[in-house]
Amino acid sequence: MEKIRLSKLMSQKGLCSRREADDYIERGWVFVDGERISQLGIKVFPTQEIKLARMAQAQQCDQITVLLHKPVGYVSGQPERGYKPAISLINRESQFQDNKTPSSFSPPNLKGMAPAGRLDIDSSGLLVFTQDGRIARKLIGAESEIEKEYLVRVEGALSQRTLDLLSYGLSLDGQALKRAAVVQQNKDQLRFILKEGRKRQIRRMCELVGLKVTGLKRVRIGKVRLGELPLGKWRYLRQGEEF
């Protein structure tokens, strides 16, 4: 059995992100088999026990995750010329107020906030921003199996063969796609459930079978649904909510 870099192993175990792991190690907040570790770059065996100090656990509890109902025309990540980043919608005026999420907005909430996944500029729906590396890895890590559900309006001829191909049998960029669940909702709407998120995946899948996407909305990520969140509004991930 080979040793592995401690920060990488902590990320693989879902304890935190690699960046957070390095920070915790430098602060002396990591213990391996009961021994405090404060040296970066150290390697350990995958079977060794890793624990975080209470200070690290408390810091993780303070990390914020936000759910945004992204409108069309906003980019998920870095700003693009002529378009605004979706994170610009996370402000006091656009916070969705209800009795389940009483926390009010504060500008420091945006520090270290990053999108956990993409949603194309011409798509709307649920977009997650988080400061928590554990959530980011769960949603977009290489081993993620989290389902994403979409409602998709299309133009073109629909048949059972088309649905079968969309569900399994297509490839993008020379790589086979994972099995998906694709069902027809009505004459021009499909419901997609995917466990991966390649760039413009659904639009490209539809093009391969002769369909044109005219509207795309993400309504669920894992166990968290868009629900009643209005377009352009955001809310905090509620206590007890998990992806």
* Predicted confidence band of residue 238 (pLDDT cuts 50, 70, 90): confident
Give the number of domains in the chain.
3
Q: With respect to residue 241, please indicate whether it lies within any of the assigned structural domains.
A: no
* Domain stops at, among 20, 35, 61: 61
Distance CA 162, CA 153 (A): 15
Taking only the tens place, the pLDDT of each residue in 2-57 is 999 999 898 888 788 788 889 889 989 999 999 999 999 999 999 999 999 888 87
Among the listed residues 120, 122, 173, 188, the single catalytic one is 120
Question: Could you say which DSSP state residue 95 is in?
Answer: B
Q: Domain limits at 36?
A: 4-61
CATH number of the domain that residue 209 is part of = 3.30.70.1560
pLDDT in tens, 177-198: 999 999 999 999 999 999 998 8
| Average pLDDT value for residue range 72-81 | 83
Q: Which of 46, 61, 76 is the last residue of a domain?
A: 61
Q: How many C-beta atoms lie closer than 10 Å to residue 201's C-beta?
A: 20
Q: Does residue 79 carry a pLDDT above 90?
A: no
In whole angstroms, how far apart are CA 235 and each of 67, 99, 226? 5, 11, 10
Residue 16 domain-assigned (yes or no): yes
Instruction: Note whether residue 12 is domain-resident.
Output: yes
Whether residue 173 lies in the annotated active site: no
Residue 236 carries which DSSP code? E
Q: For tokens 């959530």, what's the residue?
A: 135
